[in-house]
Chain A
Amino acid sequence: MSATLTTPRPAPAATTALSRMTALARAELTLLGRTRGALVAALLVPLVMPFSVRSAAEEMDLAEARLNTGTLVLPAAVGFSLLFAVYSVLVGTFVVRREELVLKRLRTGELRDVEILAGAALPAALTGLVQCLLLTAGCTVLLDLSPPSAPHLAVAGLLLGLVLCAALAAATAAVTRTGESAQATPMPLLLVSMLGSGMFVPLELLPDRLASVCELLPLTPVVTLVRGGWTGDLPVSEALGALATAMAWIVIAVFAVRRWFRWEPRR
């Protein structure tokens, strides 16, 4: 403790939002790699679940919905990746960092609130992105999926899905008290999305009234846009509707986070 305290230095280099988030994301990536349980769930579930969708597909009349196994399984796979590699992982990340007082500590520094959440979310979002690209490659090779007819829709769906899942994870963390309850609180969205967002059963095969309700679920626009990106037969009005629904959910999630997110544990 006897070293010189003030060494003359050039004018301090100011940090930027990008440099701060990169530093935080790098640390979070290290931490993600050291959290075995979360890592296994994030990496394996989205790779395994599409197989069960595929076997379910054998009992459906896909031709009626003008779909094939590939255009059913790939959007579902993207959905699993977003739900398990991004959403569930991030609920745990946000809650554990809050309980460890890391979020509070970070807020004493130069990082802005949104940078803290975005920086912490970046590694999981990148994991999801890479996973989706691998799943696309896998579906293309294994399920004879033809190249996407409207790739811009698929890209928009995937990017919106990443932002949406990060925002929903922060909103879910707001109502999650402990790291243990972070195992349970993501379940409602996981179940609702798997059942109602066209992952196992395309909305085209549901009764009209039910389908129009399911269209409003958070992850439905993502599945719809990705599927439309490959089939190329998504009408412009429905594409815009899906974009609007996704944006609306992002706005709702951001509002909920700003209103209810807690930066330190309840004592």
Chain B
Amino acid sequence: METNGHEHVIEVTDLRRVYGGGFEAVSGITFSVRRGEIFALLGTNGAGKTSTVELLEGLAAPAGGRVRVLGHDPYTDRALVRPRTGVMLQEGGFPSELTVAETARMWAGCVSGARPPAEVLALVGLESKAGIRVKQLSGGQRRRLDLALALLGDPEVLFLDEPTTGLDAEGRRETWELVSALRDGGTTVLLTTHYLEEAENLADRLAIMHEGRIATTGTPAEVTAAEPSRISFELPDGYFVGDLPPLGELGVTGHETDGRAVRLRTHELQRTATELLVWAARARVDLRRLDVRPASLEEAFLRIAKDASAHRTTGTTTKEYAA
């Protein structure tokens, strides 16, 4: 297994996590991450991403199921796993009165085979801040310090919990480049994010979590392919959805209306759009605010979030057709 290029360095089976009050944050999830892969956990706030990552990091014992990181249980075999992993928590965790250099030096003393602290600070562009107290850093600079420390021991497996939250656009792009380069060097990366763009750009594979479960998983292309494209517009006064050609014949798999606004879902974007526009031209109907949009991760994400909220609200009317 060690020599196999497709070795699974993270294996999660039926994993559950229950907090003291009985709240089940992770409700039986299964996935695995191959060596040298970037795997993203996506999800709304409270979906269970951080609860999951903390179990992988070995910070807590699962309530059920199994975690293996590099072949070991990260909670009970802590001493075997920790020297080979790097962790960036969702929130810092640095004494505010230490300087950046002092913080890095302290961590270097606790990491087997640590690289020189100055080297990792340069890697994240913090070399000029070495003498600054942590409390004086901006949120983005703190994220970068955290990333630097996670990289100190050249880990085989890197856990990044929302690595770019609080970074500006450029800092985010630089972090993406850094993480990609690490992956190219053979590092396995598990990251959580709520930036869909981040997952789309960075992840080899991803899972979207919702309410403690994995709602969908695959490569970004696979996850997106399962989603319909969308066409939205507003009908002028006096026109109703019933005035459109039969939607099933347009290739529409579902639609929603909200006042004058209409949203169509289709897996045949070109055909549906063409026939809709041909109809509109012939009927001399002005489709205001016309928006034609191919499937994206965002669609998948929003659908998963909405499927859940649809159970709770009935503000819009939704109709599904048999595909």
Contacts and interface: CB of A to CB of B under 8 A. Distances in A.
B25 to A, nearest CB: 12
Contacts of B177: 1
B290 to A, nearest CB: 41
Contacts of B87: 108-109
Contacts of A112: 78-79
A35 B97 contact: yes
Contacts of A6: 154, 185-186
Interface stretch (A18-26, A79-87, A229-237): A18-26
Q: Is the interface of A mostly helix, strand, loop or mixed?
A: loop
A3 B95 contact: no
Nearest to A2: B177
A97 B95 contact: yes
B108 A23 contact: yes
Chain B interface residue bracket vs A: 35 or more
Contact of A5 (B92, B94, B123, B174): B123
Query: Which of A14, A23, A106 has most chain B Cβ within 10 Å?
Result: A23
Given A23-B110, A31-B95, A1 B125 contact: yes
Contact of B106 (A9, A13, A24): A24
A101 interface: yes
A110 interface: yes
A3 B122 contact: yes
Given A1-B124, A23-B108, A14 B89 contact: no
B113 A101 contact: no
A1 B174 contact: yes
B153 interface: yes
A27 B98 contact: yes
A26 B113 contact: no
A116 to B, nearest CB: 9
B93 to A, nearest CB: 3
A23 B109 contact: yes
Interface in A230-267: 263
B59 interface: yes
A112 B122 CA distance: 29
Nearest to A10: B113
A184 interface: no
A34 interface: yes
A114 interface: no
Given A14-B83, A100-B94, A110-B110, A23 B105 contact: yes
Given A3-B123, A35-B97, A101 B92 contact: yes
A52 interface: no
B123 A102 contact: no
Which of A22, A27, A34, A111 has most B Cβ within 10 Å? A27
Contacts of A14: 83, 112-113
B82 interface: yes
Contacts of A104: 59, 89, 93
B233 interface: no
B31 interface: no
Contacts of B274: none
B185 A110 contact: no
A109 B107 contact: yes
A31 B82 contact: no
Given A27-B106, A110-B83, A12 B95 contact: no
Interface string B98-116: 1000110111111111110
A102 B119 contact: no
Nearest to A22: B109
B281 interface: no
Contact of A109 (B110, B124, B181): B110
Contact of A108 (B89, B112, B114, B175): B89
A100 B96 contact: yes
Contact of B113 (A9, A23, A35, A106): A9
B162 interface: no
Contacts of A101: 89, 91-93
A19 B79 CA distance: 15
A223 B105 CA distance: 39
A108 B95 CA distance: 16
5 contacts: A3-B122, A3-B123, A12-B153, A27-B105, A31-B98
Given A12-B112, A109-B107, 10 more contacts: A1-B124, A3-B122, A5-B123, A15-B83, A15-B110, A100-B96, A101-B91, A105-B92, A108-B82, A109-B87
**Pairs of residues from A and B, 6 with the lowest C-beta to C-beta distance, nearest first:** A12-B113, A23-B109, A105-B93, A101-B93, A108-B87, A27-B106
